[in-house]
A and B are shown apart, each in its own frame.
Chain A
């Protein structure tokens, strides 16, 4: 198991030079370009939930790429024979009788399967650099060509009008052919604003402001590159520079990349492709190298933010079991969601939470607490401590403790997954750099 605290400590301990040495060895002739639209899921409208123009084969292909197309997405109304209709969504009359004849259905239901939006197409896109990084990581175990990208569904969805990824080439264009095999790089703003034209490989507006559902003016890419931008934020440094044919910057946020052993980016005037060969001259996949750069930028940003003084700050310790174990009613009590924040009754919530744990059998409680990291001994000690404490609401204290540990566990679980993916990506890139790429189907590298 990867321990999140250890991984973060590792990231924090990286110096910029070490990061550059490990991940930032540019190769001659590398071109970082946008992914073709066809490779990102050639059905941008359908991926968002549109019902127009989707064929059974489209649906099956979507199932194959997205794992399970569950829920009402499987419901076929209006004559589509793609799949068995979901019972809840069979078009039936008010009396409950099924109406198999399309003529008996409203016009709105006759045109095809009712495919509900089981995609993230309405969400703000992630930062382009991170999206690129994880798209590359998602290629682990996938053929290099001839198969759809795992990200195809969501990228295709996000390419729909009104939001999503743009900047990648559109199908049928010359740019599309040119960009074949590369990754998407530039999300467009979401959240209710039409995508403005953006230059290729511009750095997208950063979250989370974009994810609030409010209309937010996109941040021009040049803003990110301005001299006064905040250190610690990702900047369009090496990857964007390479893509635009510019020289690689000599430093990122004041950290000199030229210090990197094995690096060949010390001459900022040297255009890409004319740099001196790296110490390790074995051939490297251009796409893999692009991902190295993206990863290096992410790591460096983390290092920047953490800073040397925070390297030993509170981290998630190895003793916590990173499996979220959800107690019914926590952390999403219906009162919270239904009536808004004002309706929260903390005491009632905590009472319910404590009661949920206390209502478990000893075996269930032990298993639950073990997942939280406390163990059954914790519950026993908690009972003992609470008996010794007067003038407090013991049940509420107990509920708060469970809630707190549940919260920590849930966050840690998410962090673990994200960092695991980062570690896998780093290991893969390292293997590719050294010519040890195990090839498609054998790239799942776990620590």
Chain B
């Protein structure tokens, strides 16, 4: 299921008059920001994607993704987090953008953001195992043992794939921990 962004939902949730008001306010800010924010807003209203509205090359998500992975691998988790955040806006329907955001958020101990990102990844690709595993992890880290137990069960129910097989041993250990903690 493709995920709607909060921005998209916000745009569709307001009346034309309200959106016009927003655009009018933004039009007054163009000079302050040195950026045609009203034009970008108007493009979004017309249904353009964020990448299109910003006039970015279509390969921008690829560039950001490669950069995010490189920064994460180099230990610069904050930079990776920022890059994955940008990706989650530019291409919100891609599961791994949210997984990367969640993993980066965990690395910098922003556990709530990590949980939300993993939940979003699970929403986008509910049949895959990796989001469930990562969600189980972060819920264990937050001490939400019943929640972790639910995610572990969801992991078991996920479609079999090499990804799931590679995580199964780790999940078994998580499950043992959850059981110990009464989850």
Contact = CB atoms under 8 A, between A and B. Distances in A.
B159 to A, nearest CB: 8
A65 B166 CA distance: 24
A264 B129 CA distance: 50
A123 interface: yes
B35 interface: yes
B6 A401 contact: no
A92 B181 contact: yes
A163 interface: yes
The secondary structure that dominates the B interface is helix
B176 to A, nearest CB: 4
A305 B59 contact: yes
A88 B71 contact: no
Interface string A203-234: 00011101111110000000000000000111
Interface residues of A, number: 138
Interface residues of B, number: 123
B122 to A, nearest CB: 9
A313 B54 CA distance: 8
A363 interface: no
B116 A332 contact: yes
A49 B168 CA distance: 11
Contact of B33 (A114, A126, A320, A393): A320
A392 B59 contact: no
Contacts of B107: 68, 70-71, 118
A71 B85 CA distance: 20
A151 B56 CA distance: 27
Given A117-B133, A346-B12, A392-B17, A213 B95 contact: yes
Contacts of A108: 172-173, 175-176
Interface of B: 1, 3-7, 9-15, 17-19, 21-22, 24-26, 28-29, 32-37, 39-41, 43, 50, 53-77, 79, 82-91, 93-97, 99-100, 103, 106-109, 111, 113, 115-117, 119-121, 123-125, 128, 130-131, 133-134, 137, 140-143, 159, 161-167, 169-170, 172-177, 179-182
Given A109-B176, A377-B32, A412-B86, 8 more contacts: A51-B169, A117-B167, A123-B103, A134-B71, A192-B162, A314-B36, A320-B34, A414-B64
19 contacts: A105-B180, A116-B174, A123-B103, A126-B66, A127-B66, A138-B71, A150-B74, A191-B128, A192-B164, A208-B62, A212-B125, A331-B6, A337-B115, A350-B13, A350-B14, A378-B32, A407-B50, A414-B86, A414-B87
